[in-house]
């Protein structure tokens, strides 16, 4: 019998989850977990790893420590177990019995994995060939959201729903100063959240260079300061991210086109901007540049948000056109040229001319230079590393997380994957559940989704019942004099169980997490409709939409429960 102290449980349900996790650890016969006492009592085989138990609890977000335990059996520590699973060689360890984890990359997934691996007792070598911090903080999420917010402020100064009583003014845009402000915040966050943390961790060594697999147990690093170094490992996490994908349009490669990286770093606003693509990056930056003064034309091969519920694309397209953004649907450029400082795009509707061209047709995984064949790591047709729910690749020693994998390309997915991969690399058992994954597009109005759309549910053989609530039924939207958009709830027919939510609304990203939690808790529309929501908030729209399944919300008073 062994006892653990378990911290972080808040209810009896937490204790049940901990019990289930502990009983999945090899060697555990039974677990008696008490929320009130904060303890776990286990009956288990004598060679069961105590560290594997604590790792299983940590995977749930709680903390466990040994209260009283027998003397550990030789070779059954967390690190010994993890090394044994992979057949690790002592040559990769800095100290006897020390697990060596190599992390390739330094973005959100890589950092999460490195820190968690170190926390669980491993020695970590993090390899980065470029700038510490990866895409999100340097050339992705952070700079783009700063630019988008600046553009939103410029738009409101030029035009708002209150212009009748608050005089509007044409803003003067100094892009160079905005860029300096943007870059200063990027540098600040990279230093605080990445570089300082790595420098402060004695268990993590940063190696600057490019890694390539020599085998399933070692990488060769071409160091940035010259020379090569072979680095054996017990476990490896690949978190190399992705880069902008460029379509094979004739003539494009011979032009000074922009990807998102160059667009976010420009210190000027072009008078005319053409955007090829309808990706998240394409629509976000198209609207930002339009609001900062560019005349923007978007070329969409299909429609905006063609993979989502069709109502989303229609709503955003209408909002764009209302702002003067030209959206050319079902349009592709058959050729691109750059003549006398001007881009010329051949399209089915004739020539399109622009001062700058942004190509934003998605992102491709950074896997080509890794030598994955030598390590036995499988990729899909797009070059993305195939992983299971535990972030394992086809090679026993090697895990992967983030945009270089076949998982959704969001930094919070990458970070969650990195943490779970670290738990598994060090002997635990954690899985990444994406069944209630939120997604937000930072256009105005924003697009936010979670769970299944009607079409996705039907593909899974689930019969659905759905309701769509336009924002002219939401008091907060009425008070804002901005009723663009809608909230849609998809439920299982008969049971009313929530399956998915799609929203197009100002600040939709702030309401979607409530839907995430509701889906995670397996609530029904009746449950959601009976909850208390604060009046005059956008998230109240979820409650109202849920109530439309059994009543006419137009006949309710403002605060009807």
- Return the active site residues: 9, 11, 14, 62, 136, 141, 558-559
Within a 10 A sphere around the Cβ of 557, how many other Cβ atoms?
A: 6
Specify the pairing of strand 295-299 against strand 326-328. Answer: parallel
Locate 52 and state its tokens: 């594997």
| SS3 of residue 324 by DSSP | coil
Distance CA(544)–CA(561), nearest Å, equals 9
Tokens 């749930």 locate to 60
Greatest CA separation for the chain? 80
Distance CA(266)–CA(538), nearest Å, equals 35
Q: Which of 408, 449, 412 is nearest to 242 (CA)?
A: 408
| SS3 of residue 60 by DSSP | coil
Helices (H), 363-410: 372-375
What's 336's DSSP letter? E
Query: Quick check: 540 and 475 in contact, CB under 8 A?
Result: yes
The sign of the CA dihedral 492, 497, 502, 506 is positive
Name every residue whose Cβ is closer than 8 Å to that of residue 202 and which is 6 or more positions away in sequence.
none
Within a 10 A sphere around the Cβ of 226, how many other Cβ atoms?
A: 7
Strands in 308-463 per DSSP E: 326-328, 335-339, 342-347, 350-354, 356-359, 363-365, 398-400, 439-441, 446-451
Distance CA(279)–CA(300), nearest Å, equals 9
Specify the pairing of strand 486-492 against strand 498-505. Answer: antiparallel
Beta bridge partners of 462: none
Tokens 């509007």 locate to 168
The sign of the CA dihedral 509, 510, 516, 522 is negative
Q: Which of 424, 427, 431 is nearest to 17 (CA)?
A: 431
Distance CA(86)–CA(391), nearest Å, equals 15
Q: Would you give the distance in Å from CA 34 to the centre of its chain?
A: 35
3-state secondary structure 31-100: EEEECCCCEEEEEECCCCCHHHHHHHHHCCCCEEEEEECCCCCCCCCHHHHHHHHHCCCHHHCCCCCCCE
Q: Alpha-carbon Rg of the chain, whole angstroms?
A: 26
Distance CA(407)–CA(224), nearest Å, equals 30
| SS3 of residue 277 by DSSP | coil
Distance CA(451)–CA(139), nearest Å, equals 28
């Amino acid at each position: 019998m062994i006892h653990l102290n378990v911290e972080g449980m808040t209810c009896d349900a937490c204790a049940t989850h901990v019990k289930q996790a502990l009983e999945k650890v090899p060697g555990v016969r039974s677990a008696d977990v008490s929320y009130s006492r904060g303890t776990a009592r286990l009956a288990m085989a004598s060679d069961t790893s105590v560290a594997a138990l604590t790792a299983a609890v940590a995977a749930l977000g709680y903390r466990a420590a040994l209260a009283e335990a027998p003397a550990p059996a030789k070779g059954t520590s967390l690190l010994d177990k993890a090394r044994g699973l992979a057949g690790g060689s002592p040559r990769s360890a800095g100290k006897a019995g020390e697990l060596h984890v190599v992390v390739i990359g330094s973005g959100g997934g890589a950092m999460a994995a490195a820190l968690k691996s170190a926390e669980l007792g491993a020695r970590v070598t993090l390899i980065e060939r470029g700038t510490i911090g990866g895409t999100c903080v340097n050339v992705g999420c952070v700079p783009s959201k700063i630019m988008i917010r600046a553009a939103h402020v410029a738009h409101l100064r030029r035009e708002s729903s209150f212009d009748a009583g608050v005089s509007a003014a044409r803003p003067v845009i100094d892009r160079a100063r905005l860029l300096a402000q943007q870059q200063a915040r990027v540098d600040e966050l990279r230093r605080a959240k990445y570089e300082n943390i790595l420098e402060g961790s004695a268990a993590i060594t940063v190696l600057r260079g490019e890694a390539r697999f020599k085998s399933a147990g070692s990488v060769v690093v071409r160091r940035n300061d010259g020379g090569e170094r072979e680095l054996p490992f017990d476990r490896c996490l690949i978190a190399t991210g992705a880069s902008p994908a460029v379509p094979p349009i004739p003539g494009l490669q011979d032009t000074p086109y922009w990807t998102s990286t160059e667009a976010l770093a420009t210190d000027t606003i072009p008078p005319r901007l053409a955007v090829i693509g309808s990706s998240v990056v394409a629509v976000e930056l198209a609207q930002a540049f339009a609001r900062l003064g560019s005349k923007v034309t978007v070329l969409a091969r299909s429609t905006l948000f063609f993979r989502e519920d069709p109502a989303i694309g229609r709503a955003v397209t209408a909002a764009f056109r209302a702002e003067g953004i030209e959206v050319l649907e079902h349009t592709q450029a058959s050729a691109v040229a750059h003549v006398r400082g001007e881009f010329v795009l051949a399209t089915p509707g004739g020539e399109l001319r622009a001062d700058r061209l942004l190509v934003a047709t998605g992102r491709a995984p950074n896997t080509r230079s890794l030598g994955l064949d030598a390590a036995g790591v499988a990729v899909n047709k797009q070059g993305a590393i195939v992983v299971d729910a535990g972030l394992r690749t086809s090679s026993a020693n090697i895990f992967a997380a983030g945009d270089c994998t076949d998982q959704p390309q969001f930094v919070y997915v990458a970070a969650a994957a990195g943490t779970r991969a670290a738990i598994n690399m060090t002997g635990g058992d954690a899985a990444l559940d994406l069944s209630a994954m939120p997604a937000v597009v930072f256009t105005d109005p924003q697009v936010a989704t979670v769970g299944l759309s009607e079409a996705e549910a039907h593909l899974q053989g689930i019969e659905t019942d759905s309701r769509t609530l336009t924002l002219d039924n939401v008091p907060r939207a009425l008070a804002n004099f901005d009723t663009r958009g809608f909230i849609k709830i998809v439920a299982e027919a008969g049971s009313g169980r929530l399956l998915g939510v799609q929203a197009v609304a100002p600040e939709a990203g702030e309401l979607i997490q409530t839907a995430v939690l509701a889906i995670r808790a397996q609530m029904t529309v009746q449950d959601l409709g009976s909850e208390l929501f604060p009046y005059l908030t956008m998230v109240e729209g979820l409650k109202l939409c849920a109530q439309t399944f059994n009543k006419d919300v137009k006949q309710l008073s403002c605060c009807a429960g």
